[in-house]
């Protein structure tokens, strides 16, 4: 299964979810590849891979200068491989637009190595650039993380609408595996109101699992470690463990794995 993490809005926990969901899958015994498509390289950094240490990245893979197999690196965390990012991705829109079928470049690049992995998780930048379109074109399914704020609700609706409009261009229809509520703090009335609104509007499309505000989730990336290796006892680790199980159940029900 190829799974994209995407949203129009930044700061909603896409990278945290991509990293820790890949780690949760690996803990379940699955061979996992994390693809970092964000020019900031936060997912790579969160797995202990510094930008200056990257010899080949997703930028070179998309441009055709390197194969995915040449760019993928092992991480210190069992079961997780990484296709790292680079700042060069920031100019990808202009560079890739000149290529034939630019929205299919990632799908084509991953095809030769897809059988090596049980699950491939793609971390997308905010927005709906050519990078995110590539992720959706390559994906079997996608997850939309959303924080419980009013503006995030508008971004969620906007992204789902744009994803629907993209279907003819993609030539296939990645499944919405689920909407994930992140940074949830039920001590505030506003959070309760927004969470209730999301669940009422989208129903079973919303994961039952919620990711709470947790200081350990904020600290783990600075240590270059998934939450399970940094603070396995934390509420953040427990939540992502539950999410991994729920995501796999949904994927099996949809016959994606």
Q: What is the pLDDT of residues 167-191, one digit of tens each?
A: 888 877 799 999 999 999 999 999 9
The residues of the chain scoring below 70 in pLDDT are none
Percent of the chain beyond pLDDT 70?
100
> What angle (nearest 5°) sits at the alpha carbon of residue 106, between those of residues 105 and 110?
120
Domains of the chain: residue spans and CATH? 2-253 (3.40.50.300)
pLDDT at 28: 95
pLDDT at 93: 72
pLDDT at 82: 98
- CB of 155 closer than 8 Å to CB of 127: no
pLDDT at 97: 76
pTM here is 0.96
Sheet order of strands, 141-146 included: 73-74, 80-83, 32-36, 119-123, 2-5, 141-146, 175-184, 206-212
- CB of 164 closer than 8 Å to CB of 127: no
């Amino acid at each position: 299964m190829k799974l994209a993490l995407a949203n129009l809005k930044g700061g909603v926990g896409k990278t945290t979810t991509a990293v820790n969901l890949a780690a949760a899958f690996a803990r379940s015994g699955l061979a996992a590849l994390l693809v970092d498509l964000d020019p900031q390289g936060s997912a790579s950094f969160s797995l202990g891979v510094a930008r200056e240490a990257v010899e080949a990245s997703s930028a070179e893979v998309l441009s055709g200068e390197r194969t995915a197999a040449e760019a993928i690196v092992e991480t210190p965390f069992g079961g997780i491989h990484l296709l790292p990012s680079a700042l060069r991705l920031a100019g990808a829109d202009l560079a890739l637009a000149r290529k034939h079928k630019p929205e299919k470049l990632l799908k084509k690049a991953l095809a030769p190595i897809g059988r090596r992995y049980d699950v491939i998780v793609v971390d997308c930048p905010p927005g709906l650039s050519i990078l995110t379109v590539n992720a959706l074109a390559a994906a079997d399914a996608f997850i939309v993380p959303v924080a419980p704020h009013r503006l995030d609700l508008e971004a969620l609706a906007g992204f789902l609408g744009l994803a629907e409009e993209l279907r003819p261009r993609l030539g296939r229809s990645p499944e919405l595996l689920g909407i994930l509520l992140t940074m949830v703090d039920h001590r505030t009335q506003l959070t309760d109101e927004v969470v209730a609104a999301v669940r009422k509007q989208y129903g079973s499309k919303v994961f039952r699992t919620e990711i709470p505000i947790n200081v350990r989730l904020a600290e783990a990336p600075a240590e270059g470690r998934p939450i399970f290796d940094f603070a396995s006892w934390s509420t953040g680790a427990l939540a992502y463990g539950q999410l991994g199980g729920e995501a796999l159940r949904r994927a099996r029900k949809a016959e994606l794995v």
